[in-house]
Structure 1
């Protein structure tokens, strides 16, 4: 099944609220657990970067797991960033910096980060190299990199089945967006080719029936 592009940004307020209030407890919890395993040090006090942070759920989870770290969280959707700011407790706001900006031209506060993570940004990008370029640009030797995204099923009916399995009780707009996101996602082989082109040595593994996890430690470049 060929990839079908979807809109790069989620800026419709109904979309934003549906996404922000959706039940992503299990995938988000598991993603942060995987980042925690990658970072290893529970007293990590460095700087982290969340690319395509959306409404900020994963950034907040990361901040709670690592109470000494600081996070820059960027998204191209202003409504997403506004939602993230408005739903973040004041005690976390001192460490969690939300940034409205579109990659790759957006300016980030730091040149290099100790941890770079991203969830569900890759499939939104018309050119996947945008993500890998930013990851490479803002990493240095030892940077922990963790990317999670959807995998494109082989057939349309498989995408429909995943929507019914995981979004049965969600609003219709979220079901529609989930379906389109599955069609816009990449296969494991495509992601491996992207990483080879970007000269990034990262591990690519399928986790569950709809997600891919891309991770590793950056080499000096």
Structure 2
């Protein structure tokens, strides 16, 4: 299946509200739980950058799992960030989770020298995937732990249809439509390997996590 890029920003109010209200607890918590298996050495206290944080559900899950982490979440979609800030406030974690609007690569990141860099479901939105890998390199402290998760593109239309039917279920039509578009826009593990080689990030590994997710992880010198 050939890749079909989708819009880089999900800034429509309808999309943002649908994502914020949807129940992604099982897949999001699974991805959060995997970090300790894939990266067994993680700092107890750390400055953390979450690229493409959206409405902050994953950021908040990491904050609860690692109470010593101070997390800067970054997203280009103000509609997502507005909902995310409300979620952060409701969770009582505004002192440790701060959300910033930045559209990569044009806007500056909120800082540098991060000990942990996270990203979930940003890569497939990017028309130029090197934007993500360049941001990782620019924001990293020596020895940074990197954990990037995303969808992976199915091999054919039949596989795509099975994934959409299996995981969209009773979700609103906008989520079903966006899930299909995201699967079409996602990269294969082989394509991500090539991206890392081009970025000089060969220390990072790529692994298939589920029938629809992949992870990029490792430590950078």
Quote the residue 1:98 is aligned against. 99
Deviations 1:79-132 (A, max 9, x none): 000000012236300111100110122222322101001000000000000000
Quote the residue 2:164 is aligned against. 163
Whether the 8 Å contact between 1:159 and 1:179 is mirrored in structure 2 is: yes
Partner Cα distance (1:142, 1:83) in 2:
33
Quote the residue 2:118 is aligned against. 117
Quote the residue 1:46 is aligned against. 46
Deviations 1:134-183 (A, max 9, x none): 00111132100000000111112321210110011100110000000000
Partner Cα distance (1:142, 1:39) in 2:
14
1:215 to 197, 214, 217: 217
Partner Cα distance (1:206, 1:149) in 2:
10
Quote the residue 1:129 is aligned against. 130
TM-score (ref. length: structure 1): 0.94
Whether the 8 Å contact between 1:50 and 1:117 is mirrored in structure 2 is: yes
Whether the 8 Å contact between 1:4 and 1:184 is mirrored in structure 2 is: yes
Whether the 8 Å contact between 1:39 and 1:144 is mirrored in structure 2 is: no
Whether the 8 Å contact between 2:112 and 2:141 is mirrored in structure 1 is: no
Partner Cα distance (2:40, 2:134) in 1:
22
Structure 2 residues not aligned, in runs of 5+: none
1:141 match: secondary structure: strand
Runs of 4+ in 1 over 4 A off after TM superposition: none
Number of equivalent positions: 218
Offset at 1:21? Answer: 1.9
Deviations 1:10-50 (A, max 9, x none): 01111111112222222211211122342645x71110000
Quote the residue 2:64 is aligned against. 64
TM-score (ref. length: structure 2): 0.94
Equivalent runs, 1:31-42 vs 2, <5 Å: 31-37=31-37, 38=39, 40-41=41-42
Partner Cα distance (2:8, 2:157) in 1:
21
1:204 aligns with 2:215: no
Partner Cα distance (1:195, 1:207) in 2:
18
Partner Cα distance (1:147, 1:82) in 2:
23
Partner Cα distance (1:211, 1:11) in 2:
23
1:114 match: secondary structure: strand
Partner Cα distance (1:22, 1:157) in 2:
25
